[in-house]
Structure 1
């Protein structure tokens, strides 16, 4: 039986206090609002009755964008939900859409453990329900535990591409800072400065280590010292590149920007995936060319792909395949 979609006045709908989202991407919200102004809200939100009005259960971004677009009514599906069902639905929806960062996810998991123990008696029970590993749940909750409230806003959402927005820091690094640095105010300062200043993985690790060893030294001074140290060039790869690099299948990497201006033929660089490097690579050449000139051989060197497979992978990371985009093509061979 199909559910009935009703047109409900926006003034009778209110955001849920149980929604785990701490912040909404304003740019994306503006884009959604512009789309709604043009074509209307195509996908109904889900609400639950609250006295004589309604509360948003699923679709808060659409609800807020509809307000911004000036709609008077929105299509909605009305269902009855308990509080724990609302939290669970929000968690599942946002985890699947990568809308929440580790802090936000951790807070929801904590809520489920404390308020719904019969249904969620353990972290593994939550992990099984939302389709992630128990380790992931543990890390999310650890982030909540070790990071002060002020530091939490700098933690980036997790994404498939692993890209971290400007002014944000990945949650693994944030947790390392939270564990290594004792003073809460110092944690905030370190996280804020590392979020603002994009450093390579090894340099970040060195900064955290030095701050823990010399807590009285100003963070800016520590960062300057680390930057002055002679550090090897690093190239970052996705987790699924690891096997391809180690078995020598991947001998080429294309980037929209050159990872390091020092990178040139003959350079030895460290191949890095989050943690310290997994292999040393010798750069054999660096060239620039437009994506339109990529062929099957290029795709094969990128990791044994066909050209169509490589295009799909590129789109997944960069959003589109623009044939006129000029990229750096870095050729290399594994040294050890």
Structure 2
């Protein structure tokens, strides 16, 4: 017979000065001028604190486990006491509760999540990706992919933080060699590439193998010609890849009596694109010599 979980916590009015923030705080960013925080303050002022904060007892006083924003809102209202649920928890349990709450509330950006995962696994050594994924209700792939974001250079991380680059795009970038990341992110931003298009571009870069040429182009501020030539080459390679996908699609979906004409047309286009690729390679090589 399975035993049911028994919540042994109690709810008490605890003096605010006896409560301190968590030593394992998941989020470092807290701004009192945040409009959402002001809305929370006004809601608590009008309706009271509908959900007590969660705290755990320490040798001296208590530590917040969940409800930092609610606690700060009550403090902002100059409350002396705050309703709190008190529960005995280990450091690991307290961290897991904080992390799960913030993920469910979507309160963290992707880099904050990644850093929280890294601390759990690497700094504190509380478990691997599999265990952490189970604790927070996410897949192991989700945890692994987010942690890869931490390996990205600072300029790309900044784009993630200001939301000019979404997490799906960033994860794709994190999976290519570092020497090509800065070049590819510029191409993605300028051309507004989807995740599928980024994967096609990655395939092209893998086949091309000209990372050294790319870095030479980026290194010289005067060498815009080679950069444009490289972008042209990549764009044409992507177009060739898509044409091949279309040809395969025709083979699988079009009736035989129409198939020959369509494939003939696509093969003609493919031949022209191939010729343009050859031209772009020649132009790129000439530009690199100048």
Q: How does 1:1-336 map to 2 (within 5 A)?
A: 3-24=9-30, 26-114=34-122, 120=127, 122-144=128-150, 146-148=151-153, 152=157, 154-155=159-160, 167-180=163-176, 182=178, 194=189, 199=192, 201=194, 205=198, 213=214, 214-216=217-219
Equivalent residue of 1:155, what SS? helix
* Structure 2: gaps of 5 or more residues: 1-6, 206-210, 240-290
Distance in 2 separating the partners of 1:170 and 1:135? 17
Task: Tell me: CA distance 1:27–1:167, structure 2 relative to 1, closer, same or farther (3 Å).
Answer: farther
Q: In the comparison of the two structures, how many residue pairs are matched?
A: 212
Looking at secondary structure, tell me which structure has more strand per residue.
1
TM-score normalised to structure 2 length: 0.56
Q: CA distance change for structure 1 residues 23 and 148 in 2, over 3 Å: closer, same or farther?
A: farther
Cα distance in structure 2, aligned partners of 1:65 and 1:125:
34
Question: CA distance change for structure 1 residues 66 and 153 in 2, over 3 Å: closer, same or farther?
Answer: farther
CA shift at 1:37, angstroms? 2.1
In 1, are the aligned partners of 2:10 and 2:87 still within 8 Å (CA)? no
Q: Could you tell me how far 1:3 is from its partner in structure 2?
A: 4.0
Taking a change above 3 Å as real, the CA distance of residues 167 and 24 of structure 1, as seen in their structure-2 partners, is farther
Contact 2:146 2:171 in 1 (8 A): no
Aligned to 1:292: none
CA RMSD of aligned residues (A): 4.3
| Alpha-carbon distance, 1:46 to partner | 0.6
How many Å separate the matches in 1 of 2:43 and 2:191? 33
* CA contact 1:47–1:78 (8 Å) conserved in 2: yes
The alpha-carbon distance between structure 1 residues 202 and 102, as it changes in their structure 2 partners (threshold 3 A), is closer
Q: Is the 8 A contact 1:34 1:69 kept in 2?
A: no
**Preserved contact between residue 22 and residue 104 of structure 1 (Cα < 8 Å):** no
SS in 2 for 1:19: coil
Distance verdict in 2 for CA 1:58–1:151, change over 3 Å: farther
- Work out whether residues 10 and 74 of structure 1, in 8 Å CA contact, stay in contact via their aligned partners in 2: yes
TM-score normalised to the size of structure 1?
0.50
- Alpha-carbon spacing, 1:204–1:46, altered in 2? closer, same or farther (3 Å): same
Question: Structure 1 stretch 19-28 or stretch 38-47: which is displaced more?
Answer: 19-28
